[in-house]
Amino acid sequence: MSDKNALIQPDRGQTAISIHLVDKDGLEAFLKERTPAQRAALAAHKFEADGYDYAIMPDGEDWAIAAGVANTADLSSWCLAKLARNLPAGTYRRAGGEPGPAMFGWITGQYRFERYLSEPDEEGPRVLLTGEPASIDAITAEAEAVMLVRDLVNTPAEDMGPAQLEAEAENLHKAFRAEIRVTRGDMLEREFPMVYAVGRAAARSHAPRMIELEWGDPKHPKIAIVGKGVCFDSGGLDIKPSSGMLLMKKDMGGAAHALALARLIMQAQLPVRLHMLVPAVENAVAGNSFRPGDVLKSRAGISVEIGNTDAEGRLVLGDALARAGENEPELIIDFATLTGAARVAVGPDLPALFAREDATADALLSAGKASDDPCWRLPLHEGYREYLKSEVADINNAGSSGFAGASTAALFLDKFVPKGTDWAHLDTFAWRPADKPGRPKGGAALGLRAAWHMLKQRYG
């Protein structure tokens, strides 16, 4: 993005509309400093400095904005996001201070998914000025990564199948000179048999594949990023009801997170050896669909009895995690829209975090809190492994108890990660069911910023 078109630009003293941020504690003093005309305007707007509350007031021959925030000394990512969406096109600056972390929400607050609109919004951009130009590139890159996740998840499955995920990986390959490897067809069946089994019923245009990118100096610490790429999940022969299928275009949200995180890592030249893996499939229904009761081979040599064809995400991730472990990385992070049980446990806003190492879990939780991208840790409880027992195979993919669904899914994945490897699993929703400032209804990056900031702190 050129400086001319950037939504955040260096403050060089250019003409701009002032934004006065006010919290409850400072409201009385703020009002005393205003002119009678300004106080009258604020009273007419019933401005009380509540969060996201704002009012227009005269400012000489121009106008200015008063905006309520929780704490003017400690801004969040979202403090200015409502303004970025609602104000007229133009150039703005924070009066008496810097926007800091609120620059992020200023960018993401202007996001629109308009691919299928015949008359998209043509209002011009709202530009925010900052006296901290050194921070612009990093914040913009992070916002663009979040908006990439939104774009990928919001796109319907017909236009966002395995081939399109491969095309996104190709874009990264070209932009950052990463090595790319895509496994399909007979080779996929031999090397990634569970990925092949889940995706084999899809139309030829949505044929399954394993997408891998490798980047960075082989001498640097090895990390693997894995993302579930189920581009549409019908449930297979254990078919979902129509209400359950309605949002299944988002079931590749884990892949979207992996692609976006890989881009952040490469763009920032983080000193790691990156291995990104996306098993890309459509879980369709046809005469060659895999069945309940089937026993699948896996790349790891573990046999898997199919208790439910709608528990397919853990199957494709099992093969991907096994492949990731072969490079002996010191850290594996996977993202997946894996279980409804995680949503019951922690709701739509919080990715459920599972980790082998307490230090890694703590680092992710801390990074998420600091970057307004919170996660919540759930247990990898050893006692629940018995729920995955099979009488005919090494493990069952669905579990038998009906309890602890998010934990049993994570324990299934744990079986495919080499022992001793530091591993974190984020069971993310990748969707916002309601609109919030800077976070529109639709595809969402949940856990991406937490993982990115943790990696920067660990390797940067």
Return the active site residues: 240, 314
How far is it between the farthest Cα atoms of the chain? 81
Cα dihedral angle (54, 59, 62, 65), rounded to 10 degrees?
A: -10
User: Position of tokens 């703005």?
Assistant: 92
Distance CA 316, CA 160 (A): 18
Q: Is the separation of the CB atoms in 97 and 21 below 8 Å?
A: yes
Q: Is the separation of the CB atoms in 57 and 64 below 8 Å?
A: yes
Task: Tell me phi and psi for residue 216, to 5 degrees.
Answer: 105, 170
Outline where 72-161 has alpha helix (H).
81-86, 102-108, 136-154
Cβ within 8 Å of residue 74, ≥6 positions away: none
Distance CA 264, CA 138 (A): 9
Joined tokens for residue 121 = 């919004």
Distance CA 19, CA 66 (A): 6
CA contacts within 13 A on the Cβ side of 52: 13
Distance CA 68, CA 71 (A): 9
Q: Is the separation of the CB atoms in 88 and 108 below 8 Å?
A: no
Distance CA 268, CA 144 (A): 13
Other C-beta atoms lying within 10 Å of the C-beta of residue 315? 27
Joined tokens for residue 271 = 């000193």
Q: Is the separation of the CB atoms in 417 and 410 below 8 Å?
A: no
Joined tokens for residue 439 = 């976070």
User: Position of tokens 């528990």?
Assistant: 311
H/E segment holding residue 40: helix 36-44
Distance CA 42, CA 32 (A): 12
Q: Is the separation of the CB atoms in 104 and 77 below 8 Å?
A: yes
> What letters, b where the CB count within 10 A reaches 16 and e where it falls short, cover 180-191?
bebbbeeebbee
